[in-house]
Amino acid sequence: MAGYKNRVLRVDLSNGTLSEEPLEKALIQEYIGGRGFGVKLLYDELKPGTDPLGEDSEMIFISGPLAGTNAQSFSRYKVFFKSPLTGTYFKSCSGGHMAKEMKCAGFDAVIIKGKSDKPVYLWMHDGKYELKDAAYLWGLDCDDTHTLIREELHDPNIRMGCIGPAGEHGVKYAGIFSDRRACGRGGGGTVMGGKNLKAIAFRGHQKVELADKDAFAAAVKEQIAGYKANPMFANFSKAGTWIPEVTNTLGMYPTKNFREGMVPNWEELESSEYLKLLVRKTGCYSCMVHCGSITKIGRTKYAGAWTEGPEYETIWAFTGPMAKADIGLTIAADKLCDDLGLDTISTGSTIGFAYELYEKGLITKKDTGGLELTYGNSEPVMELIRQIAYRKGIGDLLAEGSREAARRIGKDAEQYAIQVKGLELPAYDPRGAKAHGLNFLTCPIGADHNTGYAPQEIFGAPVPKEYDRFTPEEKGELTKWNQDVTAFLETGILCSFMPSMGMLSDEVYGKLLVGATGVKEFADPAYLWHVGEKIFNLERMFNVREGFGKKDDAFPRRITEESVPEGPGAGQVFEQEKMLTDYYRARGWDTETGIPTEKKLKELGLGFTAGK
Ligand code: SF4
């Protein structure tokens, strides 16, 4: 079928076998691609109760039907696995150029299971594939791994996803890195490390066949016109996600482990300051937004440090938790995490958790090896990042993530682990944006912002209508809306920034899909919304099968009982029980258990999951 390569590669690392199979037509029809393929394949492949780091675990890399075409912002890949951090279904996404190379190498998906008895990497190019020795790469950081694989294969244009020392050492939130882009969250790099898989590398020259070239070209033209007309396009293109000024002004920039909503001297993090450090713009394959930036610091103790980004979450991760705005540290820490292979959000947030434990006396200088974790002092951050990546000193404990570290510490430390289902909260205080928070609570992978971003509350986006960010009213419906639109746009796989800015309508998306694949049903917005809802419910049912339910849709009591002390959000708490009930109702789920009803599952064509 056009748009797809119609081929899946299956790899068993335990016995070193590689085999091809066709992409099933029914999968395309029912799930379109990307996130749809990922959840269905993982649900079917993985037995309930599988140890994410055991031999039976699997991970699935997927490019979408629009990858490798000139549709904008679609050349992204996703990786699916059961998370060693959360124990849930997990999906993680990255831009860059890898998805295009994967597709043009001739594959829509790669399913990897087993565990190699020695370090290997997977090399796929123009329809061919092989496992190669990675013993000489083990221990190297992500930058060096990229360089040496390209040198070994004599091609500077190879793209790859690789792990650094953090993945090799089993840090529970190690990511997968593609140049300077990352599938950061949830421990995809940890799963790769557990399989002795250092990298998965691609190079391809095959064309992507289109069902109707003229219709596709017209749809791309319409997409580009829509981008240019969007009021957020120019700013986003210029400064990317540099929005600390937005969230500090709203009083929802989590500071001191989510106790406060504004970091002191936040003006030092304004986009105008960052633009002074800009070296050049960069971006992903076939995306006119070009939101990335190479930045270099030249005037502080971190002089010489450079990175691509940092984007908003990373800026926050190394400022808010320590209550210190230091633009130089954000750049240096971002680069260090990329090199060592760490998710910046969980790294910064878990360090912030340690700061509060230190303040409360639950850990001391003896535990930290002499590091003083006092608010306003972000000096220890770089050292803590290294200790986490190599599991040295207190880093060995923090490498487990805040929830597990708190369990091991005991002494009431759990209340200071600010997470949902084990995934640390990103850079938005849920008390200041209630639908945004409700998405953190109900998102299948834990507290993720991209699965159901609420632009209505953060940027005042008027679609589907305007909302008061503080009110809990109508937020069940709104959260469902944001989650479902994101789910169907990620079948493409569209960049997750686009739904958060309303950059692409369902109609234009449908035209792109039909032009590429020729499947007429994809033109119908109602069909797309149905697929989005179906994907989200199947993700929920994966977790239900693992024993998750309403009890796991829970914030720590800081968010539900302690009010924001001052600023625009002063007095706000998160009304968890009421909002969850509204949300379950909007979804057609049982309000007592948080489990989709059999009626709802059948309506969505997911009857096979009922009662599992
Ligand atoms: S908006 Fe930015 S991150 Fe998203 S695809 Fe474009 S360049 Fe990549």
pLDDT in tens, 112-159: 999 999 999 999 999 999 999 999 999 999 999 999 999 999 999 999
Q: Is 279 helix (H, G, I), strand (E, B) or coil?
A: strand
Report the pLDDT value the prediction gives residue 390, as an integer from 0 to 100.
98
Residue 610 Cα distances to 49, 87, 429, 540, 607, angstroms: 17, 21, 35, 11, 5
Give the distance (Å) from ligand 1 centre to CA of residue 433: 25
Please tell me the residue having the least CA distance from ligand 1 atom 5. Answer: 73
* Alpha-carbon radius of gyration of the chain: 22
Give the distance (Å) from ligand 1 centre to CA of residue 54: 34
Positive or negative: CA dihedral 101, 102, 105, 108: negative
Report the pLDDT value the prediction gives residue 160, as an integer from 0 to 100.
98
pLDDT (mean) for 11-38: 97
Q: What one-character DSSP code corresponds to residue 447?
A: S
Contact 128, 206 (CB under 8 A): no
Give the distance (Å) from ligand 1 centre to CA of residue 392: 35
Please tell me the distance from the alpha carbon of residue 497 to that of residue 233, in angstroms, as a whole number: 11
Report the pLDDT value the prediction gives residue 223, as an integer from 0 to 100.
96
Return phi, psi of residue 382, to 5°.
-60, -40
Say if residue 299's pLDDT is above 70: no
Q: Is 259 helix (H, G, I), strand (E, B) or coil?
A: coil
pLDDT (mean) for 6-33: 97
Instruction: List the single range of 141-155, 241-255, 294-308 with lowest mean pLDDT.
Output: 294-308
How much of the chain is helix, strand and coil, in % rounded to 5? 45, 15, 45
Say if residue 562's pLDDT is above 90: yes
pLDDT (mean) for 391-395: 98
Q: Which of 63, 495, 501, 504 has the most ligand 1 atoms within 8 A of CB, as the residue to mutate?
A: 495
Which atom of ligand 1 is nearest to 96's Cα?
8
Give the distance (Å) from ligand 1 centre to CA of residue 233: 12
Strands 120-125 and 128-133: antiparallel
Q: Each residue of 409-465: pLDDT tens digit?
A: 998 999 999 999 999 999 999 999 999 999 999 999 999 999 999 999 999 999 999
Report the pLDDT value the prediction gives residue 245, as an integer from 0 to 100.
94
Report the pLDDT value the prediction gives residue 180, as an integer from 0 to 100.
86
Residues in a beta bridge with 203: 125
Give the distance (Å) from ligand 1 centre to CA of residue 284: 6
Q: Each residue of 312-330: pLDDT tens digit?
A: 999 999 999 999 999 999 9
Q: List the one residue out of 348, 337, 306, 284 whose CA is nearest residue 497.
A: 284
Residues in the chain: 612
Instruction: List the single range of 21-25, 275-279, 598-602 with lowest mean pLDDT.
Output: 275-279
Sheet strand arrangement including 109-113: 17-22, 7-12, 109-113, 58-63, 77-82, 89-94
Give the distance (Å) from ligand 1 centre to CA of residue 600: 35
Please tell me the distance from the alpha carbon of residue 427 to that of residue 449, in angstroms, as a whole number: 8
Q: Which of 241, 291, 312 has the most ligand 1 atoms within 8 A of CB, as the residue to mutate?
A: 291
Cα dihedral 533/431/92/321 (nearest 10): 180
Which atom of ligand 1 is nearest to 290's Cα?
7
Q: Which of 227, 289, 290 has the most ligand 1 atoms within 8 A of CB, as the residue to mutate?
A: 289
Which atom of ligand 1 is nearest to 95's Cα?
8
Say if residue 307's pLDDT is above 80: yes
Report the pLDDT value the prediction gives residue 19, as an integer from 0 to 100.
98
Give the distance (Å) from ligand 1 centre to CA of residue 149: 25
Q: Please, what is the angle between helix 381-389 and helix 327-340, to 10°? A: 10
Please tell me the distance from the alpha carbon of residue 201 to that of residue 150, in angstroms, as a whole number: 9
Contacts by residues 408-414 (CB-CB < 8 Å, ≥ 24 positions apart) = 409/357, 409/362, 409/363, 411/362, 412/362, 413/357, 413/362, 414/556
Ligand 1 neighbours by CB, cut-off 6 Å: 73, 95, 283-284, 287, 289-292, 495, 497
Please tell me the distance from the alpha carbon of residue 574 to that of residue 571, in angstroms, as a whole number: 10
Give the distance (Å) from ligand 1 centre to CA of residue 224: 14
Please tell me the distance from the alpha carbon of residue 162 to that of residue 338, in angstroms, as a whole number: 11
Q: List the one residue out of 72, 545, 195, 78 whose CA is nearest residue 537.
A: 545
SS3 labels along 73-141? CCCCEEEEEECCCCCCEEEEEECCCHHHHHHHCCCCEEEEECCCCCCEEEEEECCEEEEEECCCCCCCC
First to last CA, the chain: 33
Which atom of ligand 1 is nearest to 73's Cα?
5
Q: Each residue of 204-240: pLDDT tens digit?
A: 999 999 999 999 999 999 999 999 999 889 888 988 8
Please tell me the residue having the least CA distance from ligand 1 atom 8. Answer: 284
Give the distance (Å) from ligand 1 centre to CA of residue 74: 9
pLDDT (mean) for 573-595: 98
Q: Each residue of 327-345: pLDDT tens digit?
A: 999 999 999 999 999 999 9
Please tell me the residue having the least CA distance from ligand 1 atom 4. Answer: 495
Q: Each residue of 518-548: pLDDT tens digit?
A: 999 999 999 999 999 999 999 999 999 999 9
Please tell me the distance from the alpha carbon of residue 484 to that of residue 490, in angstroms, as a whole number: 10
Please tell me the distance from the alpha carbon of residue 167 to that of residue 338, in angstroms, as a whole number: 12
Please tell me the residue having the least CA distance from ligand 1 atom 2. Answer: 291
Give the distance (Å) from ligand 1 centre to CA of residue 81: 23
- Tell me the pLDDT band of 309, cut-offs 50, 70 and 90: confident
Which atom of ligand 1 is nearest to 76's Cα?
5
Q: How much is the pTM?
A: 0.97
Give the distance (Å) from ligand 1 centre to CA of residue 326: 25
> What integer best gives the mean pLDDT of the chain?
96
